[in-house]
Structure 1
Amino acid sequence: MIQPQTHLNIADNSGARQLMCIQIIGAGNRQYASIGDIVVAVIKEAVPNMSLERSEVIRAVIIRTCKELKRSIGMIIQYDDNTAVVIDQEENPKGTQIFGAIARELR
């Protein structure tokens, strides 16, 4: 469950290291985002000499959350951290690699 002011780690090589969620994109006035949702975020920490800079507003998709996810077969999945991947306006990832596990629901 990601809400505004939540800090997220980055799982790709786009140049950002940490984000802070500002707003959840979706139907109406949603309070929380989960795996697969798109959020508007600001970069809090970035790698030097890369295309993304600190305090830049971007879009990202959530790929892992600490809150457990229940599948239809009864399996419960829970990750250790809240992680996102930076995307562009056409919803394509800005990085070329994604590190770590990705949920089957997101693929």
Structure 2
Amino acid sequence: MVQLQTILKVSDNSGAKTAKCIKVLGGFKRKFACPGDLIVVSIQQLRNKSKILSKVKKGEVFKGLIIRTKKQIKKKDGLITFFNDNCVSLINKQNSPVASRIIGPVSRLLKCGKYLKFVTISAGLI
């Protein structure tokens, strides 16, 4: 679960390294976000190698799609999934990815949602 002020790893090739959650979208008093949910993030750090060629700048505000969380997710069939880190992928205003590639696997919850584009550009599903 991701809440306000959570530092997230950006796992795409947009040029950002870390981002901070500013707002959880999807409700008036919503406090937590799970994989597949949208949040508003601010870019905290950039990757060293791509500072010149980066698509984003430090301090910019983007929407982000949560693709991995440390919190365990239990399904009805008894399957429990969790990852080693909290990761987000950046989204532009047209709800399409800023990057052209997602590094690492994504949660299977994205497959049944409206974000099928993120599943196709990722490394795999878990």
TM range (shorter): over 0.9
Q: Alpha-carbon deviations, 1:17-40, whole Å to 9, x = none?
A: 100000001022101011001000
Distance 1:25 1:4 in 2: 11
Supply the AA of the counterpart residue of 1:8.
Answer: L
If the length of structure 2 is used for normalisation, what is the TM-score?
0.82
1:20 and 2:24 equivalent?
no
Aligned length: 107
1:58 and 2:62 equivalent?
yes
Residue 72 of structure 1 and its aligned partner are, at CA, apart by 2.4
Look up the match of 1:10.
10
Q: Which has the higher contact order (CA 8 A, sep 6+)?
A: 1
Distance 1:103 1:57 in 2: 24
Paired residue for 2:77, among 63, 73, 84? 73
Residue 101 of structure 1 and its aligned partner are, at CA, apart by 1.0
Look up the match of 1:39.
39
Supply the AA of the counterpart residue of 1:70.
Answer: K
Deviation >6 Å, runs of 4+: none
Task: Indicate the SS of the match to 2:106.
Answer: coil
Higher helix share: 2
Distance 2:109 2:75 in 1: 9
Instruction: Give the percent of matched residue pairs that are identical in Structure 1 and Structure 2.
Output: 35
Q: Alpha-carbon deviations, 1:80-100, whole Å to 9, x = none?
A: 000000011111111000111
Supply the AA of the counterpart residue of 1:27.
Answer: G
